[in-house]
Homo-oligomer: A and B are copies of this chain.
């Protein structure tokens, strides 16, 4: 992870942001263009009453602000910026580029994205643009520049919010002719000459050898399994192309307003974007969190995502940019958040490092596709349970100025997460489609989370030295050099828990020669001779011990879980997916050996704590109660 060139000035830019707040950020997306003047006036009254100090403005305002090509009209926005400033509310100002106006597609149909089967996507929803389109990028950067020139010095401006939820919708991939040409250029840059690509892509198989880059396509619909490395590079390319869109806007903002920090909001942790490659280009990480109230695992899974966000920022606080006060609108069944749940979710974010609690959106829309997405002011108005809870939470957060900017306590345990390996892991034509990264990561994170063990999420190139315990679930595709760094970590005294189907291929998804998992055989003291996914979705490996001891076995007596002292450290290996109880017992044993302890000891079940350190180093423990019953916590 290399930081962006202008990272050295990040601290000063962040001061620009923090100077505009005195307590944790509280508020949400504000879309006044949907409402009339009377409502605008009521908005200010209600915002003040609710303790709102930060709003995101303009996310969907391109069509209003540039109603015809080049004809900008920001007068409506001036009014709102001024009024917010007068009311002491800071603004995260959007560059408005997530959803282009209809005239863009009408004048430039080639900006519309194309699916793998050739289907062209049309306007009428949002994100209907090809990420590789120079036409889109130019129009977007021009608009960002206009905004920067007009509002760079405005007292309300705290933060630039570039685009919105990059890659959330289907337009994260495009197969149009423009994208095909861009993919070829990207490959030229990556491989230099086509023979290097042929070697990396193993094109001797299935007679796929390319004579020139111009013969290559994006992975369009094909008669059978497409080349895995073609798919993998296309995922890399897609993430990079969206990042290039973001950077094109950031570049113009940085030129005009070098003092203002920039961010964009990431969506629930997914395969879409390689967030570790994006993170250095954000001054502060922002996250949109949408746990499903119907999902009993939502709490701990959200906590994992929060740990990822903190990890993206290298342990710094991050912004909860969006969440829903209650139901969303886009699931099959959108349950409401029962009383207290939104408060719990919000404090969970703060506990894991959030410096803000923001919602989509301030006032629930009367029309459009998200009118049933709950909002801080529901359709029913302020005299409603939802709005009462919004006001109560605002007051609570305002009572804790010391939390704003407070440092999350560094963890002793880390989970390793790598997007290219994730992408490669879930390609087709594998031993089993049941092996997915997120399920493995969550299964490993859960016993740590539930035991109140703070856990960082780190990239492949992280400095591992500070950690007593490194958990590596399903690191399927790993370059040799990275494998050596993990080996060195254990040799130097670290404790490693590595799980099945790791160390199998390199960065080009070519199997490492030398028997599975070749780069880790010596470290783990074993070889995996065969994979044996069961018809029930289970996973088993045929392990041959080469120094490790079996600490658990399959029914036939063959090793299932192993332990191998290596150098100054210890390497554990799981050749199977234990049930949650067995997983907990195993991780407890590993933790004990590695001397990794809970933030607060002796908490009741379904209760967790996390710690933040205020500016003067005082630890603030935030304890989360996932039950509906009251619990008593004794101070340690």
Contact = CB atoms under 8 A, between A and B. Distances in A.
Contact of A380 (B211, B223, B371, B516): B516
Given A379-B516, A429-B369, A63 B103 contact: no
Interface string A103-137: 10110000001000111111111111000000000
Given A124-B226, A170-B223, A99 B367 contact: no
A413 B98 CA distance: 52
A386 interface: yes
A388 to B, nearest CB: 11
Give how many copies assemble into the complex: 3
Contacts of A515: 379-381
A160 to B, nearest CB: 18
Contact of A101 (B209, B380, B516): B209
Contacts of A211: 67-68, 101-103
Interface string A525-539: 001011111110100
Given A209-B63, A211-B103, A370-B205, A127 B365 contact: no
Contacts of A527: 380
Interface stretch (A457-465, A503-511, A584-592): A503-511
B128 A207 contact: no
Interface in A584-624: none
Contacts of A190: none
Nearest to A113: B223
Contacts of A219: 122, 124
B223 A530 contact: no
A327 interface: yes
Interface string A191-216: 00000000001111111111100111
Contacts of A118: 118-120
B531 A230 contact: no
A179 interface: no
A62 B207 CA distance: 6
A221 B121 contact: yes
A336 B533 CA distance: 8
Contacts of A31: 204-205
A432 interface: yes
Closest 5 CB pairs of A and B: A202-B367, A205-B368, A122-B220, A225-B369, A169-B223
27 contacts: A34-B204, A63-B208, A96-B207, A98-B207, A99-B208, A102-B211, A102-B215, A106-B215, A117-B119, A121-B223, A122-B220, A123-B217, A124-B230, A125-B222, A125-B226, A202-B366, A204-B368, A206-B369, A294-B534, A336-B531, A336-B542, A366-B511, A369-B428, A371-B510, A379-B513, A379-B516, A384-B529
